């Protein structure tokens, strides 16, 4: 049976449970110690950051600011950069679709063939037509990637020869049954412990002509959400995997190995290498939870926000930390001045969680006209958001300000 080539599918849980428990406990602390306003602001930003790092793993460097520009309908005139921005918006739209689906259908098997094909279809249907083609190594042909369809030709990725396409339905059925999160509903720890194995085995199967890495990372996020791992949405595995890209890729390749010897499990693949990859995966999760715990610690976050506001008032920020020109006026124009009243309003939004419209004048101490300008500027730059012109104002962290407010989130220090 071809499914034997996937075995083992379940790693050594005794070896992994302690680390999985640490991730879960740190996630609970992250939720408990973070202010609701900071949680909501970070969750919005993390979708962009997750997309950025997922693209980076694919070799597509679309800067978070460029992604935010695209989300506001502002696309580059360069065709290549524009296509990458469209790819990024597609990723974020599918992230939101997955989140909504799991709210509406919380028992969804995110490892089922139907769910994986749905992710693939939703993503690829949003891509520019010219990004839906891939090279077929057999005969050196170009094949169209049909959204949601399984591949129909052989594939080799590096040293890995993917299973024959005729075996994909049986392989995916075994994958679905093995990693269905419902199997782990009684043990959140075990669910998290097996996730690294599910991540690797889906990449090993390589079910689609293209987009397997992206589908796997989106499935990984969905699995964590489906298992209700605490704090998820405030941290992202893609950031950790991209930061350790060489170790990540070597671990994947090592877990492809056939069984090393008689002491290396009973399946076709190396049990020891799979355990090592799962341990690495949990280390990545813990690292990301701990990083965001440090970033969202409210006293430190408030201090960094205050520092950012002071620098804006002084006009002392470096060019890369200034707001997007298209949100503040014509290209090339310097950002509008930052008033002390804007600082008070932003800090209040993070302290209170939201600001009702009738509180703005009291917080800023400004006239109605000046207060409206301040609010308009903060909304335009991405620091405040609301569902309507009468709804309360909610705090946000735009990508251009993240290097100072959440240092190391992306960029050279990440």
DSSP notation for 335-397 = PPP--HHHHHHHHHHHHHSEE-GGGHHHHH---HHHHHHHHHHHHHHTSEE-SSSSSPEEE--
Query: According to the model, what pLDDT value does residue 92 have?
Result: 97
Return the bridge partners of 342, or none: none
Cβ neighbours for 157, distance < 8 A, ≥ 6 positions apart: 206
- The encoded tokens of residue 39 equal 């949680």
Question: Measuring CA to CA, which residue among 144, 54, 143, 126 is closest to residue 83?
Answer: 126
Query: According to the model, what pLDDT value does residue 333 have?
Result: 41
> Which DSSP state fits 160?
E
Fold classification of 299-405 is: Arc Repressor Mutant, subunit A (1.10.10)
Q: How many residues in total does the chain contain?
A: 414
Return the bridge partners of 157, or none: 160
Residue ranges of the chain that CATH labels 1.10.10: 299-405
Question: Measuring CA to CA, which residue among 107, 246, 134, 267 is closest to residue 197?
Answer: 267
For 17-296, the fitting CATH number among 3.30.360.10, 3.40.50.300, 3.20.20.100, 1.10.3290.10 is 1.10.3290.10
Return the bridge partners of 354, or none: 394
Q: Where do we find the tokens 């520009």?
A: 69
Query: According to the model, what pLDDT value does residue 355 have?
Result: 93
Q: How many helices (H) and strands (E) does the chain have?
A: 17, 7
Query: According to the model, what pLDDT value does residue 36 have?
Result: 87
Query: According to the model, what pLDDT value does residue 324 have?
Result: 53
Residue 121 CA, distance from chain mean position:
19
Q: Quickly list DSSP for 221-245.
A: HHHHHHTT-TTTTSS-HHHHHHHTH
Q: Which residues of the chain carry a pLDDT beneath 50?
A: 325-334, 413-414
**Angle (CA) 123 124 130, round 5°:** 140
- Identify whether the C-beta of residue 259 lies closer than 8 Å to the C-beta of residue 249: no
List phi, psi (to 5°) of 161.
-100, 115
Distance between CA atoms of 236 and 84, rounded to whole angstroms?
21
- The encoded tokens of residue 112 equal 């089922």
Indicate the helix (H) or strand (E) that contains 384: strand 384-385
Indicate the helix (H) or strand (E) that contains 85: helix 79-104
Residue 129 CA, distance from chain mean position:
24
Residue ranges of the chain that CATH labels 1.10.3290.10: 17-296
């Amino acid at each position: 049976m071809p499914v034997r080539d996937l075995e083992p599918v379940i790693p050594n849980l005794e070896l992994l449970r302690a680390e999985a428990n640490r991730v879960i406990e740190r996630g609970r602390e992250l939720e408990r110690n973070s202010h609701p306003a900071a949680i909501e602001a970070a969750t919005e930003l993390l979708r962009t950051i997750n997309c950025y790092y997922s693209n980076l793993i694919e070799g597509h460097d679309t800067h978070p600011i460029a992604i935010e520009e695209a989300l506001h309908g502002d696309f580059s005139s360069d065709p290549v950069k524009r296509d990458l921005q469209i790819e990024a918006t597609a990723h974020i739209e599918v992230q939101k679709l997955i989140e909504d689906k799991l709210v509406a259908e919380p028992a969804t098997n995110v490892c089922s063939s139907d769910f994986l094909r749905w992710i693939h279809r939703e993503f690829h249907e949003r891509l520019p037509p010219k990004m839906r083609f891939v090279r077929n190594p057999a005969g050196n042909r170009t094949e169209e990637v049909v959204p949601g369809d399984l591949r129909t030709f052989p594939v080799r990725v590096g040293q890995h020869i993917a299973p024959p396409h005729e075996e994909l339905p049986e392989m995916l059925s075994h994958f679905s049954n093995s990693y269905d999160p419902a199997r782990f509903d009684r043990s959140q720890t075990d669910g998290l412990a097996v996730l690294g194995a599910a991540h690797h085995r889906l990449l090993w199967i390589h079910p689609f002509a293209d987009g397997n890495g992206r589908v796997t990372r989106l499935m990984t996020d969905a699995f964590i959400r489906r298992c209700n791992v605490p704090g998820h949405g405030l941290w992202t595995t893609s950031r950790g995997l991209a930061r350790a890209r060489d170790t990540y890729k070597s671990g994947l390749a090592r877990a492809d190995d056939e069984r090393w010897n008689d002491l290396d499990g009973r399946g076709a693949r190396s049990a020891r290498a799979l355990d090592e990859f799962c341990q690495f995966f949990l280390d990545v999760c813990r690292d990301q939870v701990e990083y965001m715990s440090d970033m969202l610690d409210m006293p430190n976050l408030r201090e960094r926000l205050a520092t950012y506001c002071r620098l804006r008032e002084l006009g002392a920020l470096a060019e890369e930390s200034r707001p997007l020109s298209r949100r503040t006026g014509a290209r090339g124009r310097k950002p509008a001045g930052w008033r002390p009243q804007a600082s008070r309003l932003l800090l209040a939004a993070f302290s209170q969680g939201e600001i009702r419209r009738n509180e703005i004048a009291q917080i800023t101490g400004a006239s109605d006209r000046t207060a409206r300008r301040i609010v308009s500027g903060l909304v335009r730059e991405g620091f405040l958001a609301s569902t309507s012109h009468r709804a309360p104002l909610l705090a946000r962290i735009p990508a251009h300000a993240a290097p100072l407010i959440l240092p190391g989130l992306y960029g050279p220090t990440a």
